[in-house]
Amino acid sequence: MVTVNAMGDKCPVPVIKTKKALDALTAPETIEVLVDNETAVANVTKMAQSTGATVTQEKLGEDEYKVTIQALAGEGSQTAPAGAVCDCVPTGDTVVVISSDKMGSGNDELGKVLIKGCIFAITQLDELPKKMIFYNGGAKITCEGSDSLEDLKNLE
């Protein structure tokens, strides 16, 4: 059995960790994913089901959940649909254009967490985007002190 500890990780990290565990499989295996919120449970479940795996969920306690994935032989080599990880994840010759330091409107703090998660998700792709362009408020993400600066340096 493989255990993925994603406690305290924000989306899309639990999905990315689980996808990496699936990709590493060479035979049928059970993967247990530990998370601390219902959104992560839903996202991990959706991604795992998209590979054909059987998935069960269990609430272990307050802010503690377990997603159990019964992965099939060779399943780790399958690729989940792009939207299963993050709707903003590009591949191939894609050019990513970011014009704001947050994603969406309404709650600015949530928007900053979402754009950081999206940039991190891009760093985990097998095939990176061809270019990334940052302008207007998006240029702030490339400056010293940005929460995403380390991820951008890794992409570089």
Distance of CA 18 to the CA centre of its chain: 9
Q: Are 17 and 48 in contact (CB under 8 A)?
A: no
Site of tokens 């891009």: 122
Active-site pick, 11, 86, 88, 118: 11
Q: How many CB atoms lie within 10 A of CB 108?
A: 11
Cα–Cα distances in angstroms (integers) from residue 135 to residues 21, 101, 104, 143, in the given order: 35, 10, 16, 12
Residue 11 annotated to the active site: yes
Helix axes 13-24, 38-50, angle to 10 degrees: 30
* Active site members: 11
